[in-house]
Amino acid sequence: MPDASADTPPGEWQLTEAGAAQAAGLRCRLPAGALLVASTEVKAIETIAAAHTDDRFDEVRRDEPFGGDFRARRRAYVAGAVPPGWEPHAEVAGRFDAGVRHWRTVAGDRPLVVASHGMAMTIWLTAAATVADPGAFWAALRFPDLLMVDLGESTVTRGYQAAGA
């Protein structure tokens, strides 16, 4: 979990001490030799210790107040509502998909690991026809979470396990 503060823009939030420990545990489960790419947000970079960043993987751009019932607002957004000042779903899906296509080419035969954010990833996966109920999918995400996406098979599997693990 990040150290969220109304005084700091979300893109600059760092992981808490507990969040850093959770991220270290997650990194041990990443595929060997993977190309690691994160959004430009500090918490994503810290989560996988990424050497590469790409703003196409940043969270949904939005004008959102700090606090309040943010979970309800965000769940409504991924389920289809687009409040004024929030990035349209097609734009989120388009930029995210362009980032995946670019880095998939760069990765070649290596696995690609992307550290992103719940709403942006949910919107992209919904557009890619792998998520039937985006609200429920988003609500079930853990922090951090590790998902294996197979676009050819249109599947999302939680918790990558290395061969022999």
Contact 5, 13 (CB under 8 A): yes
* CATH class of the domain at 10-158: alpha beta
Q: For residues 101 and 46, give the distance between their C-alpha atoms in angstroms, rounded to a whole number.
A: 23
State the pLDDT at residue 159: 75
Q: For residues 138 and 5, give the distance between their C-alpha atoms in angstroms, rounded to a whole number.
A: 22
Query: What is the full DSSP assignment across 44-102?
Result: HHHHHT-SEE-GGGSPPP----SSSSHHHHHHHHHTT---TTSPPHHHHHHHHHHHHHH
Q: What is the pLDDT of residues 18-50, one digit of tens each?
A: 999 999 988 998 999 999 999 999 999 999 998
For 79, residues 6+ apart whose C-beta sits below 8 A from its C-beta are: 134, 135
Q: Can you give the residue ranges of every domain in the chain?
A: 10-158
Average pLDDT along the chain: 91
pTM above 0.95, yes or no: no
Helix (H) or strand (E) holding 147: strand 147-150
Q: What is the pLDDT of residues 89-109, one digit of tens each?
A: 999 999 999 999 999 999 999
